[in-house]
Amino acid sequence: MLRILLGSSPLAALSLLATPALANEEDANIWLAQTSTINLGGDTTLWLEAQERFTNDASRLGQLLIRPAIGYKLDGTTTVSIGYAYVHTDPLAGASSDEHRLFQQLSTRLVGNGRNVTLTSRTRLEQRTFENQDGIGWRLRQQLRVSAPLMGDARFALWTEPFIGFNQTSFQRDGIGLWRNFAGITVPVSRQLSLEPGYLNQQVRRVGRDRTDHVASLTLSTNF
């Protein structure tokens, strides 16, 4: 039922335009995320993030992600960050895996002031390693996000993010391996807390049949 509801969304319908003749495998997910931005004084911030991704028709915890980072504000619109991510993946079929990532990130506001229509960019370069596997996978993630005011303090949010591998390893292919597209609403609950529910469409390129994930996403964000 969840797969039917998510798969009927407008964003999912648009993704079918790029579907190859060989139909993709499909899955329905629920992704929960908690983020916190903590001002450490001056222009330095601490970013903390956790994600729980329920897969296989949202019946089980298929992936857990922990991602801290330190950021430095270059000016009012641009922040550079360095961080680490741990990702535990437990597929229904096959062995579980533990991934460790280092990453460097540039976030900047391209258009707008955060109150009217605003366009932002997030560029993230990752160095990926897996336990019990050789090699370092270099991957670039480029997110473009647009937001616009709705009723009250709520804002509409729309973003796209391709994942581009720079090299091929036993766990990563070169070229575009993932592509995520999201549509949702950001709802401030207080000055320090906001919620962002929405639909995320994830295209996964694989050897053989690709996979499409239809994701009901909910992010809880705090600022201190």
Residue, of 189 and 206, whose pLDDT is higher: 189
pLDDT digits (tens, 9 = 90+) for 158-198: 999 999 999 999 999 999 999 999 999 999 999 999 999 99
Please state the pTM of the whole predicted model.
Answer: 0.88
Asked if pLDDT for residue 12 goes beyond 90, the answer is no
Burial of 88 by CB count in 10 Å (0-12 exposed, 13-18 middle, 19+ buried)? Answer: middle
Residue range 96-110: mean pLDDT, rounded: 98
Domain count, the chain: 1
Q: Look at residue 26 and tell me whether its pLDDT is greater than 90.
A: yes
114-136: pLDDT as tens digits: 899 999 999 999 999 999 999 99
Backbone CA torsion sign across 128, 48, 123, 212? positive
pLDDT for 6: 66
Average pLDDT over residues 74-97: 96
Q: What is the CATH number of the domain that holds 37?
A: 2.40.160.40
Task: Please name the residue that has the structure tokens 């929960």.
Answer: 32
Q: How many CB atoms lie within 10 A of CB 185?
A: 15
Supply the range of the domain harboring residue 120: 2-223
Range of lowest pLDDT (7-21, 66-80, 104-118): 7-21
CA–CA separation, 206 and 134 (whole Å): 20
Integer Rg of the chain from CA: 18
Mean pLDDT of the chain: 92
Q: What angle do CA 14, 25, 173 make, to 5 degrees?
A: 90
Cα–Cα distance between 141 and 15 in angstroms, integer?
19
- Length of the chain counted residue by residue: 224
**Distance (Å, rounded) from C-alpha 188 to C-alpha 191?**
7
